[in-house]
């Protein structure tokens, strides 16, 4: 779905909420919703039932898939919350190519 600026953050040893966090952006509310829908659909195909927050407005959608937490933001909302800065220390962040 062409998510943009995808970052994977290793949460091992930092929190018990999960092992990894994936942060990405969509260009608009519709794009954010489409990305989230695809992630939810793909998780369902492999038998993972995720909890979803924020889908109706699609400014920021959180998908809790257990050990992996996925955030899909509109760029302005992502900049405002700046989750990467809160969770990253040293080399625990990887950008997708």
Mean pLDDT, range 3-29, rounded to an integer: 93
CA distance 83 to 45: 28
* Residue 91 confidence (pLDDT): 46
Q: Would you say residue 5 has pLDDT above 90?
A: yes
Domain containing residue 50: 4-95
Could you say which DSSP state residue 26 is in?
-
Q: How many domains does the chain have?
A: 1
Query: Which residues partner with 21 through β-bridges?
Result: 9, 69
Give the model confidence (pLDDT) of 36-94 as tens digits: 999 999 999 999 999 999 999 999 999 999 999 999 999 999 999 999 888 876 545 55
We report the CATH number of the domain holding residue 44 as 3.30.460.10
């Amino acid at each position: 779905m062409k998510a943009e600026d995808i970052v994977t953050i290793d949460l091992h040893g930092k929190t018990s909420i999960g092992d990894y966090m994936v942060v990405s952006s969509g260009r608009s509310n519709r794009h954010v919703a489409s990305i989230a829908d695809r992630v939810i659909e793909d998780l369902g195909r492999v038998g993972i039932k995720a909890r979803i927050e924020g889908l109706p407005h699609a400014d920021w959608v959180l998908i809790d898939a257990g050990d992996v937490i996925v955030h899909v933001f509109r760029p302005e909302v992502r900049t405002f919350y700046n989750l990467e800065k809160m969770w990253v220390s040293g080399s625990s962040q990887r950008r997708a190519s």
